[in-house]
Each structure stands twice: as C-alpha cells, then as structure tokens.
Amino acid sequence: MLTVLEQLANSGIGLAIDDFGAGPTSIGYLSSLPFRHLKLERSLAAQLRSEMGRAVVSKILELSEGLSMSATVEGIKTEEPAQTARAWR
C-alpha cells in the first residue's frame, strides 16, 4: 500500500487523511505516509466550544502545519467556530 501511495503522491496527486481523530486513523500515519491534507473529524468541531477542545484542535492544526500539510475541520457551520479554528495561528 505504501508504494502505491508514494507513486500517487509523486505523480502530483494530493492525498488526504479523512476523519482524523475518529476510528482507525492514527497519528502514526502523519509521518509515515505521503499525505498532504488532514481533514479533522466533525466531532472535533463541536469541541471548539470548550477551552480543552480548542487546545486539542489547535495542537492538531499546529502539527499539520509543522508537517507541511493543509487542514480542514469538518462540521463547522457558523462563523464563531470558524473564527475559533482560524485563531489558533
């Protein structure tokens, strides 16, 4: 599987980890596979209401940036959580 993913990435196809933070996704994938984009699971958007949740999302976004990955927080539907997610920088 790794060889196929590397071939796809080398051919210019952007690979993403979908629903990061739920189910079988693992932080280990971030450094071992050639992904360029991280989509955070929508339950993490709901956690933006609490200080602890904001800290978790902030660190995940910081980690994705450190790995030169773009990131999306799924499930943001209003401006308030969107501003909170943007404010981590």
**Marked catalytic residue, from 41, 51, 62, 74:** 74
Take residue 38 and report the two structure tokens written for it: 């991280």
CA atoms within 13 A on the CB side of 40: 25
Please, what sign has the CA dihedral across residues 55, 58, 60, 66?
Answer: negative
Whether 6 is catalytic: no
Which amino acids are annotated catalytic?
74
